[in-house]
């Protein structure tokens, strides 16, 4: 589907047409990519091979996003979901988050059948976003900046929300290292606007440094989640359904236990009396 978005859709009261990309930001992005290239290339090739082995379909996922000053661009990611996975549930979930004070937990935080094997780990570590370095090289994104929004998210923005578009979108950002999924949608917008108004070389460097422990924490949590799921599956034999007991079932079980205990006492008493009679006869 062709995306047609013009800056006329954005309120001129909030998006500044004169906003410019700082020269130091482009220099910082280029320097970081060149220094990390020897590590990025083999890791990206390994991930691409993994996706090809575990799932049919393309290696890359492409999606239209809204970038600097409301300009649309094509974002690249490693595909972590099954081919032709439906997106309606995600759109509906995002709309709910935008209109509530609920923390922005990911839809797949409790499991998602649309994910390919190991897709959750790629998303938790942020490795699925490595192809966005192509967007950085093209000047559509930066290493640090607000998260690039989707078209359906943008369509539901209030006018003041669009202030976050005064900065280049990024792979990491102030929101990502300041609570991320524990914050609400409006808190995310406020952090993005703060960054757009106060971005500096020092702030970008600080966010980059803080990104690594955040990713490590997300990876550890994802691994713990997988272990809990496997442990639960191992405790319940395959094909066996374990019924949940309600108050009525628990009361019935208690009655059965009481009757069984009472019957055992009567049996013991009869055995003792029978033993006395037999002994007396022999005497």
Residues 89-130: pLDDT tens digits? 778 888 888 888 888 887 666 667 888 998 888 998 899 999
Assess contact for 40 and 130: CB atoms under 8 A: yes
CA distance 22 to 20: 6
Can you say how many angstroms the Cα of residue 83 is from the centroid of all Cα atoms in its chain? Answer: 19
**If you average pLDDT over every residue of the chain, what do you get?**
81
Can you say how many angstroms the Cα of residue 104 is from the centroid of all Cα atoms in its chain? Answer: 9
Section 229-236 average pLDDT: 71
- Closest listed residue to residue 185, CA positions, set 143, 207, 156: 156
Phi-psi region of 169 (alpha: psi -120 to 50; beta: other; left: phi over 0): beta
Secondary structure (3-state) at 149: strand
Assess contact for 94 and 152: CB atoms under 8 A: yes
pTM of the full structure: 0.73
Helix, strand, coil % over all residues of the chain, rounded to 5: 60, 10, 30
Q: List the structure tokens of 171.
A: 């792979």
When mean pLDDT is compared across 34-48, 100-114, 206-220, 247-261, the lowest value belongs to: 247-261
């Amino acid at each position: 589907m062709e995306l047609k978005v013009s800056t006329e859709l954005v309120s001129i009261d909030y998006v500044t047409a004169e906003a410019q990309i700082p020269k130091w930001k482009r220099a910082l992005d280029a320097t970081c990519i060149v220094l990390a290239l020897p590590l990025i290339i083999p890791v990206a090739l390994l991930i691409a091979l993994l996706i090809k082995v575990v799932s049919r379909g393309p290696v890359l996922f492409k999606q239209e996003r809204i970038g600097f000053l409301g300009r649309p661009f094509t974002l690249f990611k490693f595909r972590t979901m099954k081919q032709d996975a439906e997106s309606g549930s995600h759109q509906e979930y995002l709309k709910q988050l935008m209109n509530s004070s609920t923390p922005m937990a990911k839809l797949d935080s409790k499991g998602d059948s649309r994910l390919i094997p190991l897709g959750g780990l790629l998303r938790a570590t942020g490795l699925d976003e490595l192809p966005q370095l192509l967007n950085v090289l093209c000047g559509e994104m930066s290493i640090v900046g607000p998260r690039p929004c989707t078209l359906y998210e943008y369509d539901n923005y209030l006018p003041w929300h669009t202030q976050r578009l005064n900065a280049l979108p990024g792979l990491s950002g102030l929101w990502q290292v300041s609570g991320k999924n524990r914050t609400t949608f409006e808190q995310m917008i406020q952090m993005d606007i703060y960054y757009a108004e106060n971005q500096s070389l020092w702030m970008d460097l600080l966010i980059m440094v803080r990104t690594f422990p955040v990713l490590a924490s997300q990876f550890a949590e994802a691994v713990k989640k997988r272990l809990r799921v496997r442990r639960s599956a191992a405790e319940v034999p395959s094909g066996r359904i374990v019924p949940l007991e309600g108050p009525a079932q628990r009361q019935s079980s208690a009655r059965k236990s009481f009757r069984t205990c009472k019957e055992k006492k009567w049996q013991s008493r009869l055995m003792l009396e029978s033993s006395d009679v037999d002994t007396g006869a022999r005497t």
